[in-house]
Amino acid sequence: MAYSLNSKIRNLKPYDPIQGTYRIRLDANESFRQPPKEILSKISDVVAKIEYNRYPDPYAEELCHAFADFYQIDPVNVMAGNGSDELISIINEAFLMKGESVMTLSPDFSMYRFYCGIGETKCFEYQKKDDYSVDIDELIRMVNDYKIRMLIFSNPCNPTSKGIKRDDIRRLVQSVDALVVLDEAYMDFWNQSMLCEAENYDNLIILKTCSKAIGMAGIRLGFAIANQTLIRTLKAVKSPYNVNIVSQKIGTLLLREEKWINSCIQELVASKNALYDKLKRVESNNMNRMTVYNSATNFIFIKISDGEKVFENLMKQGIAVRCFGNYLRITAGTLEENEDFITAFETALQ
Ligand SMILES: *Cc1c(COP(=O)(O)O)cnc(C)c1O
The per-residue pLDDT for 163 is 98
Mean pLDDT of 75-103: 96
The per-residue pLDDT for 120 is 86
Determine how many CB atoms are found less than 10 A away from the CB of residue 118: 13
Element (H, E) at 180: strand 179-183
Angle at CA of residue 88, ends 85 and 89, nearest 5°: 90
Residues β-bridged to residue 181: 152, 205
Contact residues for 344 (Cβ-Cβ < 8 A; gap 6+): 314, 317, 318, 319
Nearest CA to ligand 1 atom 5: 84
Element (H, E) at 70: helix 61-71
Q: With pLDDT > 70 as the criterion, what percentage of the chain qualifies?
A: 100
The per-residue pLDDT for 13 is 87
Cα 24 to ligand 1 centre (Å): 21
The per-residue pLDDT for 19 is 76
Nearest CA to ligand 1 atom 15: 158
Cα–Cα distances in Å, from 112 out to 90, 116, 118?
12, 7, 11
Residue 17 pLDDT greater than 80, yes or no: no
| pLDDT band for position 223 (cuts 50, 70, 90) | very high
CB 23 within 8 A of CB 344: no
pLDDT digits (tens, 9 = 90+) for 306-318: 999 999 999 999 9
CB 248 within 8 A of CB 60: yes
Residues β-bridged to residue 126: 105
Strands 204-209 and 150-154 come out as unpaired
| pLDDT band for position 213 (cuts 50, 70, 90) | very high
Residue 63 pLDDT greater than 80, yes or no: yes
Best residue for ligand 1 mutational test, from 29, 31, 82, 158 (most atoms within 8 Å of Cβ): 158
| Stated pTM of the model | 0.96
